[in-house]
């Protein structure tokens, strides 16, 4: 990536060396960019706040051999509600984790960038973070061109045939009873959760209420785990959080 100034959201931060951080930034123009924020871990560093996950800033980036270097950053947007609510923060960290693992680096991603900005704003203002998360995670599948057949058979197009129902990322959605053994990633969930995810995908904003919210969150989180096929700590944390909340 050539020298540039870009609006970006920090998806991932990793400490390197004694004082530096390696950042994964989501930009509109170049998609995910890897950048080194030198000295950002030093006390009083001007890059400290801008290098935190979920920070939205205007980054001045210098081109280097293997990655960009952050010369300066000016925070442009904040979502204070995310930092004050553990559920909202967990949900937001899961969303940026999914983006970081599901998108190729260096490809322009204006639709995904717009989705992320809208999703973080929706979570920030949501009364129930579970609804905002389920809506955003379902919408991302649509934005990335991976919308599942939530409420119909991915193979034959027929309607949901049981409750609970089988769903598989490898199949591309719902799997009829008796055929789930063909897909190692298939799992059971409430049919109502799959119907909800189908409807949420078509909405421009999260609805005020959602029945079976815990089951819907768990279903879309598990589906994303199957899509990516790797461990996602923040997404696992969301699933654990809703399970513990349901049991309490």
The per-residue b/e assignment along 144-171, b for 16 or more CB within 10 angstroms, e otherwise, is beebbbbbbbbbeeeebeeebbbbbbeb
Number of neighbouring beta carbons within 10 Å of residue 85? 16
pLDDT on residue 1: 55
CA distances (Å), 112 to each of 27, 140, 145, 160, 235, in order? 9, 7, 11, 30, 18
pTM metric for this prediction: 0.94
Residue range 35-64, pLDDT digits in tens = 999 999 999 999 999 999 999 999 999 988
The mean predicted confidence, pLDDT, of the chain is 94
Write down the residue that tokens 């930092």 correspond to: 83
Which domains occur in the chain, in start order? 4-77 (2.40.50.140), 80-247 (1.20.1440.120)
Cα gap 199→27, rounded to integer Å: 29
Taking the C-alpha atoms of residue 135 and residue 54, their distance in angstroms, rounded to an integer, is: 18
Find residue 68's DSSP bridge partners. 35, 63
At 106 the pLDDT is 87
Q: Which has more confidence, 65 or 224? A: 224
Which residues lie below 8 Å from residue 128, measured CB to CB, with a gap of 6+? 210, 213
Band the pLDDT of 158: cuts 50, 70, 90.
Answer: confident
pLDDT at 3 over 80: no
Compute the average pLDDT of residues 214-243.
Answer: 96
Task: Extract the tokens encoding 81.
Answer: 């509600």
Average pLDDT over residues 83-105: 96
Angstrom distance (rounded) from CA 34 to CA 100: 11
pLDDT score for 4: 84
Query: Across residues 177-190, what is the average pLDDT?
Result: 94
Q: Which helix (H) or strand (E) holds 116?
A: helix 110-125
Predicted pLDDT at 248: 56
Among residues 157, 158, 180, 185, the alpha carbon closest in space to that of 170 is found at: 185
Closest CA to 138 of 211, 218, 208, 239: 218
- Cα–Cα distance measured from residue 187 to residue 217, given in angstroms and rounded to the nearest whole number: 14
Q: What is the Cα–Cα distance from 99 to 140, expressed in whole angstroms?
A: 8
pLDDT digits (tens, 9 = 90+) for 64-79: 877 899 999 999 998 9
- Rounded percentage of the chain residues whose pLDDT exceeds 90: 88
Contact assessment for residue 232 and residue 225, using Cβ atoms and an 8 Å cutoff: yes
Distance (Å) of CA 9 to CA 71, 115, 138, 160: 16, 12, 20, 38
CA atoms within 13 A of residue 106's CA, in its CB half-sphere: 5
User: CB of 19 within 8 A of CB of 41?
Assistant: yes
pLDDT over 70 (residue 2): no
CB 235 within 8 A of CB 221: yes
- For residue 36, list its beta bridge partners: 22, 69
Q: What does DSSP assign to residue 17?
A: T
């Amino acid at each position: 990536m050539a020298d540039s100034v870009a609006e970006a959201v920090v998806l991932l931060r990793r400490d390197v060396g004694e004082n530096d951080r390696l950042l994964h930034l989501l930009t509109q123009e170049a998609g995910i960019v890897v950048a080194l924020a030198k000295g950002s871990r030093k006390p009083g560093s001007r890059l400290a706040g801008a290098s935190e996950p979920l920070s939205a800033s205007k980054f001045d980036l210098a081109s280097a051999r293997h990655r960009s270097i952050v010369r300066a950053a000016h925070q442009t947007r904040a979502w204070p509600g995310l930092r004050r609510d553990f559920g909202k923060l967990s949900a937001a960290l899961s969303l940026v984790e999914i983006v970081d693992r599901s998108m190729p680096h260096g490809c322009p991603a204006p639709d995904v960038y717009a989705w992320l900005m809208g999703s973080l704003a929706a979570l920030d203002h949501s009364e129930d973070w579970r609804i905002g998360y389920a809506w955003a995670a379902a919408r991302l599948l649509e934005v990335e061109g991976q919308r599942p057949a939530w409420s119909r058979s991915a193979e034959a197009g027929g309607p949901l045939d049981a409750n609970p129902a089988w769903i598989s990322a490898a199949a591309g959605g719902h799997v009829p009873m008796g055929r789930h053994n063909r897909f190692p990633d298939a799992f059971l969930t409430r049919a109502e959760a799959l119907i909800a995810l189908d409807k949420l995908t078509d909405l421009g904003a999260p609805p005020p209420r959602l029945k079976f919210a815990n089951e819907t969150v768990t279903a879309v989180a598990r589906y994303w785990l199957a899509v990516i096929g790797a461990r996602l700590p923040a997404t696992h944390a969301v699933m654990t959080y809703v399970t513990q909340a349901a049991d309490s």
